[in-house]
Amino acid sequence: MTIEKPARKTLEDNFAYRSDFKYTHDNPYHDKLEVFDSFVLRDEEAESNVGKWGQLFKNEKPIEVEIGTGYGEFMMEYCQKYPDVNFIGLDHRFKRSFSVAKKLDKLEHKNFRYLRARGERLEFMFQENEVQSVFYFFPDPWPKTRHHKKRLFQKPFLNACAKVLKPGGTLFVKTDHDGYFDWMLEHLKDEKRFEILLQSRDLRNEYPEHFLSQFTTKFEKIFLSQGTLIKSIVLRKI
């Protein structure tokens, strides 16, 4: 008697890439975030604005998106330095999102929205050619081999970026992790939809004047203090 092994789960099964995905949670910070509903969208709320972000911002300025906003340093500094963009930051952590929202609420320029959402939902939050730039800084590297399937940077993510970015739009990536950087380069092999504008294993020393070297996140400060080299990739949609 032959016993069939269960089908191996695909990346789409393991993560939130499917169109029928639903957010489920029971976290008190979800309700606490409601106090910031003038600029915070939670869960599926972001997906109700596909193709309508210009209406939400009440202008047609370029849309720029940060996946994994973390403690919000880059988002806050960037928004205040570039008030002529519509910035959308997102993170799926609850307590951290609440902390970031409190800081954002105090900013002078209100050219932003914050999403308590998952990066895997990118193509369900924006329509084709709607986004000018995507920022993806210091993601969880999931270093153990059995967890590699949880890494965001692979084909479904690249598919989503290729869809939502405008022609000429840019994906900016920074990581401290050598293994994840190698993983990214491997997934970019034979990729015809993007042009590599920058590829560096030592961003700060090789490109000290580059845009990416002008902003330092909380995590980045820790890595730099430890002597860790910052790896970076910049891709442009062809």
**Consecutive sets of 10 residues in the chain, 238 residues long: mean pLDDT of each?**
46 68 93 97 95 96 97 96 97 96 97 97 97 97 93 95 98 98 96 97 97 93 96 98
Instruction: Count the domains in the chain.
Output: 1
* Pair of tokens at residue 21: 């995905």
176 in a labelled binding site: yes
Where on the phi/psi map is residue 149: left (φ > 0), alpha (ψ -120 to 50), or beta? alpha
140 in a labelled binding site: yes
Host domain of residue 38: 27-237
In a domain, 1, yes or no: no
Answer whether 0.75 is exceeded by the pTM.
yes
Predicted pLDDT at 19:
86
* Known catalytic residue at 140: yes
108 in a labelled binding site: no
In a domain, 9, yes or no: no
Predicted pLDDT at 9:
46
CATH value at residue 175: 3.40.50.150
103 in a labelled binding site: no
Predicted pLDDT at 165:
98
Catalytic residue among 13, 31, 140, 202: 140
> How far apart are alpha carbons 199 and 186 in whole angstroms?
13
